[in-house]
Structure 1
Amino acid sequence: MTIIRTVDPADATGEVGDVYADDVASLGYVPSHTRVMAVDVEAHLAFEHLAGTIASGLGLRLYELVTLAAAKALRSQACLLAHGRRSRSLFGDDQLARIARDHRDAGLTEAEVAAMDLAARLSTDAAQITEAETTRLRDAGLTDRQIVDVVLAASLRNYYSRALHALAVPPDVPPDLPAGLRQALLADGDDGDDGDADPGPAASAR
């Protein structure tokens, strides 16, 4: 459980109040990670802007696939659940469960698999990435801009997931996430907290 003292939604004003209001409008409540990260609201807003810029250039589908791959490699339950929920608008639940279990056997394109492989590699051993691993993305049809954005998306997930780990932010479980899909998303995930802890009600799409 995080030791960070956060602003109660009923007391939030200014930029923090605006951030909370956005989540209430889209989710109906303010998730744990928003409350903690909004303690430094300027950094939170900068993260949101950067995430939106990368996603708009890369395309939401590839952005979410890269994010899921990085989150899985980082064992971030919070990000797997949040982005698993968001990805339901892009994939059927059956395919999304397959992606969560093994993205190489989930009906994805060669470029998507290559991007997810690189995201996982970056999240576990970035210093050992070879030219061949990045060239693979170009050979699969990605442009230089898309290759850069794949790396930026994975790096951004490392920033956010590692911050949540370090601050011991409890993951929120989306109530509308089917049990089978939730189990697939968390099959190899561990956010560093007690696996028996009961997370909060839901997660946003950051």
Structure 2
Amino acid sequence: MTIIQTPDPEDATGDVAEIYAKDQRDLGYVAEYTRVMAFNPEAYRAWEQLVRAIIAQLGVRRFELVTLAAAQGTRSQHCRLAHGRKSLAVMDADDVEAVARDFHDAGLSEAEVAMMEYAERISTDAASMTEADSLRLRELGFTDREIVDITLAAAARNYFSRAIQALGVAVEVPPDLGDSLRDALLAPL
């Protein structure tokens, strides 16, 4: 449990109230990670702008696949749950569950698997990466812009995941996830 004392939704004002209201509209509740990160609303808004800029070029499906792989690499149950749920906008629950259990055996294209391996590696061992890692993506048809955006998406997930982990934010299970999908997203990483 985090030590950060955040305002309750009914007591929030200004930018924090707006950030909370977005979660309320999108999720039906205000997530604990939102409450903590909205403590600095300027940074939270900058974070959201960065994510929108990446998604605008990469697309939602690729962004969510990269995010799930990066969250796996950081062992972030918070982000696996949140983005497993968000992935349902572009994939059906069985496909998201298969990705969560083992993206290598989830019926993804070779390019998508390579993209996810790259994102996971950024989250586990970026210091040892070389141009060979990026060249593999290029060989599979990714443009330089897409390689940069994949990298930015994984690095951005690392920022957010590590911040909420370090701040001791409680892991919340979105109430609208099915049991099987929830279990796959919470499986030991």
CA distance in 1, matches of 2:111, 2:118: 11
Structure 2, unmatched stretches of 5+, are none
Tell me if 1:132 matches 2:128.
Answer: no
Segments of 4+ in structure 1 off by > 6 A?
none
Q: Which has the higher helix share?
A: 2
Residue 7 (structure 2) aligns with: 7
Q: CA deviation at 1:130?
A: 2.0
- Is structure 2 residue 91 aligned with structure 1 residue 103? no
Checking the alignment, whether the CA contact within 8 Å between 1:6 and 1:35 is kept in structure 2 is yes
The percent of aligned pairs where both chains have the same amino acid is: 57
Give the superposition deviation at 1:188: 2.4
> What is the CA–CA distance in structure 1 between the aligned matches of 2:85 and 2:128, rounded to whole Å?
32
Q: Which residue of structure 2 lines up, in the alignment, with residue 193 of structure 1?
A: none
How much does 1:171 deviate?
1.4
Aligned to 2:34: 34
- The TM-score normalised by the length of structure 1 is 0.89
Tell me how far apart the structure 2 counterparts of residues 151 and 177 of structure 1 sit (CA, whole Å).
28
Q: Give CA deviations for 1:179-205 in whole Å, capped at 9, x if unaligned.
A: 11111112123xxxxxxxxxxxxxxxx
Counterpart of 2:155 in structure 1: which amino acid? Answer: S
Unaligned runs of 5+ in 1: 190-206
Structure 1 counterpart of 2:175, one-letter code: P
Where do 1:4-153 residues align within 5 Å? 4-153=4-153
Match of 2:169, SS state, is: coil
Whether the 8 Å contact between 1:54 and 1:152 is mirrored in structure 2 is yes
Aligned length: 189
Superposed CA deviations along residues 14-34 of structure 1, whole A, max 9, x for unmatched, are 111111111112222211011
Q: Which residue of 1 aligns with 2:156?
A: 156
SS of residue in 1 equivalent to 2:7: coil
- Aligned-residue Cα RMSD (Å) equals 0.9
Corresponding residue for residue 179 of structure 2: 179
Deviation readout 1:16-56 (Å, 9 max, x if unpaired): 11111111122222110111001111000000010111011
